[in-house]
Amino acid sequence: MDPYGLFAKAGIWYLVADCARVPRMYRLERITTWKEADQPRRIRENQTLATVAAALIEQWEHNHAIEVSATIDETQIERAQRIFGLRLIRDDHEESATGRKVTIRFLHLEDVRALLPFGSAITVHGPTEARAYLRDLATNLAHHYAPSPMS
């Protein structure tokens, strides 16, 4: 691993480094052990912490398989912004009595489950597969906590 340095994004610290000459960001709180190498770091020519971090963020922002359109209650918009960071895009032109229109980007359909803690404070408008996935998760959760016939 050849580190460029530490980088803070949305209040979270990351180690930015090349691993086998490929740039990566590692969430600092997940690094539990490390060992100092006996060789000097080998960073790519003309690359700095700023350039590598910017390229990784740009790549991440444009590498999303699913974009969810939703309305979030105004009381929950700041919380959603903290949780989803740059993945949440507010539509500042679309505010209604029911909340704020947003787009939230996810890498995989399964990641849409991150919307469950918002309960009825969020309404997903599309895509259809995201709505169906959330409905299935909620149904399974309701069945899991349904009173047993023996109680």
- For the stretch 36-87, pLDDT in tens is 888 888 988 999 999 999 988 877 766 667 899 999 999 999 999 999 988 8
State the average pLDDT over residues 125-134: 93
Domains defined along the chain, listed by start: 2-30+43-61 (no CATH), 66-144 (3.30.70)
What's the half-sphere exposure (Cβ side, CA atoms, 13 Å) at 129? Answer: 8
Indicate the SS3 state at residue 128: helix
Write out pLDDT tens, residues 13-44. Answer: 999 999 888 888 888 888 888 888 888 889 88
pTM above 0.85, yes or no: no
Q: Read off the pLDDT band of 11 (50, 70, 90).
A: confident
Residue 138 has pLDDT above 90, yes or no: yes
Q: Read off the pLDDT band of 104 (50, 70, 90).
A: very high
Provide, rounded to the nearest whole percent, the portion of the chain with pLDDT above 90.
54
Distance, CA of 80 to CA of 101 (rounded, Å) = 12
Residue 113 has pLDDT above 90, yes or no: yes
